[in-house]
Amino acid sequence: MARQLRTLNWGLVPSWAKDIKTGARMINARFETITDKPSFRRAASRRRLIVPMDGYYEWQAPESGEGRKQPYYLTDPDGAPLAAAGLYELWRDPSKGDEDADRWLWSLTVITTNATDTLGHIHDRSPLLLPADFWDAWLDPELTDTEEVDALLAKVPEPHLTPIKVGVAVGNVQNDSPDLVRPID
């Protein structure tokens, strides 16, 4: 089996889903339950992927509990790319014929875990980030036993990321600019 680089839809749509709307509820999968929940179990044993990223955003609630949340961009302190553990599925669109090249939807979910002590003050969950020496094991098609998948993920070390305070423009999906990761005072 050859590794591939693909663009997928974010929001896992299991093969048994009645429609694509299911994916809106499955953008993340909790590490603690990926091998238990029917929505993720089969993908956890056979359809694992790595989501490359430069960083990700989290919002911190004000200590007072009132007011606007502050967004942070979390990234590697040296600017190295990050690799989040994820799962993928293929869903057959019943409204499209066999000859339609778009009849199969490829979708993904990012696996999350408890945030580490260094980042847990910003948000209690974070993507499960895989160091490079875990990539081959995570993508190994021979790894199909869910207990072994759980054991592998339990060994993933704590990431060390830099939180950068950024502007609230990141909260609007219509904004897409390099300025979104620029630090603010």
Q: What DSSP line would sit under 88-134, residue for residue?
A: EEEEE-TTS-TT-TTSEEEEEEEEEEEPPTTTTTT-SEEE-BPPGGG
Query: Which residues are registered as beta bridge partners of 17?
Result: none
pLDDT computed for residue 120 by the predictor = 62
Q: For position 107, what pLDDT does the model report?
A: 96
Among the residue ranges 14-28, 29-43, 88-102, 145-159, the one predicted with the least confidence is 14-28
Q: Is the dihedral of CA 11, 86, 116, 160 positive or negative?
A: negative
CATH number at 9-181: 3.90.1680.10
pLDDT band of residue 117 (cuts 50, 70, 90) is low
Phi, psi of 49 (to 5 degrees): -145, 170
